[in-house]
Amino acid sequence: MTDNQYMTLNNGVKMPLVGFGTWTLRGEQGKQVVLEALAAGYRLIDTAHMYGNEDIVGQAVAESGIPREEIFITTKLCGTRAGYKLACQGIEESLDRLQTDYIDLLLIHEPYAEAAEMYCALTEAYRSGKVRAIGISNFNAREYLAFIENCDIIPMVNQVECHVYYRRKELQKTLETHGTKMQAWSPFTEGQKPIFHEPILQALGKEYSKTSAQIALQYLVQQGIAVIPKSSHRKRMEENLNIFDTTLTAEDIAQIHQLETGKTLFGWYDD
């Protein structure tokens, strides 16, 4: 991967702009899909306690033959590890299941009431070298601003729902003001919208010899948003990575922005 395929976090760590999401993957078949993604060129693999598949991600990374330092592993602590001691325990569990000495990015999965306590555990793990970067997930702007009031370390990433129908420009602006990068889960809407058949994306895809999916990802990446698409098909995996040879114009981006609804498709937020 070349430099333009990474973003630099507020602590200098470089994170791939396009990662591979794993939330539906389980068992041996799931492990094979992760191995396929790594073979296709993905170097960021996104998992979580909640997904119940950190073990197969760890196995795939170990079996891939790719040096550990070349792979960026993200995982998240969920509500079963809400609290300082429970979060400390959760970090050790993740390290064990992932078969690694360190996690590249560790997030708090939701804005739990105990998020501040959990973040103390993340901060300690970061300072001890068990984690290279720390952050949060699914925090809206109000929750984020309240959260960072008591943070020794500003979160490096906020991973949130973001796609062409829910661009969240104001949230990104708030995050960037304080040094936090935005990363998009559900860049293809998880089937909630017929994004691959969206006429605007299809027309631009035809113009640039790209798929609607590639245009949808390029739209976000070009505006400084990292993305975590999912696919179990090798051809689509490769297509989702192959977006860095295209530059959308300001007019193209304005066209796509017409798709904005300002509404979550998953009911996570009250922006």
Instruction: Give catalytic residues, as residue numbers.
Output: 51
Burial class (CB in 10 A: 0-12, 13-18, 19+), 106: buried
Spatial distance between the Cα atoms of 23 and 16, rounded to a whole number of angstroms: 18
Q: Is 183 helix (H, G, I), strand (E, B) or coil?
A: strand
- DSSP state for residue 156 in the 8-state scheme: S
Spatial distance between the Cα atoms of 134 and 207, rounded to a whole number of angstroms: 39
In the block, residue with structure tokens 């609804």: 261
Q: Is 72 helix (H, G, I), strand (E, B) or coil?
A: strand
DSSP β-ladder status, 6-8 and 14-16 = antiparallel
Task: Give the DSSP H/E element, type plus range, for residue 137.
Answer: strand 134-137
Spatial distance between the Cα atoms of 127 and 3, rounded to a whole number of angstroms: 26
Rounded (10°) CA dihedral 257, 261, 265, 270: 110
Q: Look at residues 93, 92, 43, 94 and name the one whose alpha carbon lies nearest to residue 64.
A: 43
